[in-house]
Structure 1
Amino acid sequence: MLIHDRIASRRREIGLSQVALAKKTGVSGTSVSKWESGLNQPKGRYLNDLAAALGVTVEWLLTGNSSQSAEVGSKGAFSNTEPAVVPSGRRIPILSYVQAGHWREMCDQAFGVDGNTEFVLAGIDVGQHAFGLWLRGNSMAPTFNEGDLVIIDPDESPRPGDFVIAKNGSEEATFKKYRPRGIGLDGKEVFELVPLNDDYPTLYSDRQHIEIIGVVIEHRIFIRRHR
């Protein structure tokens, strides 16, 4: 069997239509049809989302080797030690840095995303306001690189060492590591936003206005970068 045969057989095995699989994967029904006919092959983030929607491992989709079944754990990692569990993750929008910087206001005012918005299937349970972000720049290298995808949940409260998306007075969002520093004289929490790349400056909440937008709960790395 080739990859398109495995996609089609697994979809039928779990009782999904092409339209239903497309919805879970965040693509059109035409894309699924082309995957199953062998005209196109899923790559990058779509390969990960397709495997999650089908409840299988990426390795099995690509090669047919290893256990077919996969369970998504608490951190989104696949394990083949248990029966397949198709995740209940929902489709979330992938935002630009400008949109991410205004996401709280957009949610509060019930503004939706437009018809050109790209969507992705979250690999784990997320809040109602979760979104994805394609990373740019190298301030968080080498752990996070340009072209990686992160999933952010604004309904999560940051804890020491968490990676967060924040707004620092500009129109755009910034991505840094959260480091609390206690309570200031005004009774407000004092924290730092720290880059992993030493060539970039640390941001301080007691020196400039910083608003935490959300906590990074999932990080996806792709061999072939998003363009």
Structure 2
Amino acid sequence: METLVDRLQKALSAKKLSWSKASTMIGLSPQAPSKWKKGQISRETLEKLAGILEVDVGWLMTGGEPISAQAEKTQPVITQEYGNVKPTGKTLREIPVLDFVQAGLWRDVVYDGLHPKGRTYTSYEGIDPKAVFSLTIDGMSMAPEFLPGDEIVVDAAKAPVPGSLVVAQEIQHGSALTTFKKYRVIGVNEHGVDIVELVPLNPDFPTYNSLQIEISIIGVVVQHHREFKY
């Protein structure tokens, strides 16, 4: 009789993924599957695995007919051509919302490395899923394109290029401060290191220069999420 482990193995094989790879993709250790194979797996973990494996979580749990297949029997099939929109075909992944980021002056980092402010979802696929996270905008220096309350998705494994939108960090009096700005290269110093500016999109706010303060780039902004208010 087919078990949950058998169905997981079937789904992994279809996606050409190993157990350890799937585990790291959902933010767990490569050793976690040793418990899964003994049937020690939570509903939350199954839902995450179903997301990356693109299968129905109900099918993983029971082996029954996927919910989507059941729905197809009762729902009309849409065969119309798309106009100025079309499906992306991408899967949403859950990522942590770490903290607010100041679009203006430097702001203290509140995130303690263990407890994210919340969770959100992204269709972005970077080279390292663990390096992708979200921040909430607080400030007006990147307005009108980025407004307070907007979410940005950041890839810490991606290197900035001139024109990138970045989250940067400065250490002041032992505290880590962050800001969100446009990355601009303005020259090279005597050691061959780029001299950069962090530039606001709103001209009413200051530009920061790496000759004046020590700047570290945390990551590159890869997506912008905004909630529409009607």
Scaled to the shorter chain, the TM-score interval is 0.5 to 0.7
Q: Could you tell me how far 1:67 is from its partner in structure 2?
A: 7.7
User: What does residue 146 of structure 1 align with?
Assistant: 148
Give, as a single letter, the amino acid of the residue that structure 1 aligns with 2:200: P
Q: Which amino acid aligns with 2:136?
A: W
Matched, 1:20 2:22: no
- Aligned length, in residue pairs: 152
Contact residue 97 and residue 172 of structure 1 kept, 8 A: no
Number of the residue aligned with 1:209 = 214
Matched, 1:130 2:135: no
> 2:96: which partner in 1?
93
Tell me what 1:188 maps to.
193
Cα distance between partner residues in 2 of 1:67 and 1:134: 38
In structure 2, relative to structure 1, the CA distance for the partners of 1:102 and 1:185 (3 Å cut) is farther
SS in 2 for 1:96: strand
Shift of 1:97: 3.9
Higher-strand-fraction structure: 2
Query: What code does the residue aligned with 2:191 have?
Result: D
Q: Give the conservation status (yes or no) of the 8 Å contact 1:142–1:197.
A: yes
Contact residue 182 and residue 191 of structure 1 kept, 8 A: yes
* Structure 1 unmatched ranges of 5 or more: 1-16, 25-53, 55-65, 71-77
Matching of residue 164 in structure 1 with residue 166 in structure 2 = yes
* Displacement after TM superposition at 1:182 (Å): 2.5
Instruction: Please report the TM-score for the alignment, with normalisation by the length of structure 2.
Output: 0.55
Indicate conservation of the 8 Å contact 2:159/2:219, yes or no.
yes
RMSD of the alignment, in Å? Answer: 3.8
**In the alignment, which residue of structure 2 is the partner of 1:179?**
184
User: Does the CA-based 8 Å contact 2:136-2:151 persist in structure 1?
Assistant: yes
CA distance 1:219–1:141, shift in 2 (3 Å): same
- What is the TM-score normalised by the length of structure 1? 0.56
Deviations 1:68-112 (A, max 9, x none): 999xxxxxxx942x6x72x24432110114899588xx8xxxx5x
**Contact preservation (8 Å) 2:99, 2:110:** no
Q: Percent identity?
A: 31
| CA pair 68-168 structure 1, distance change in 2 beyond 3 A | farther
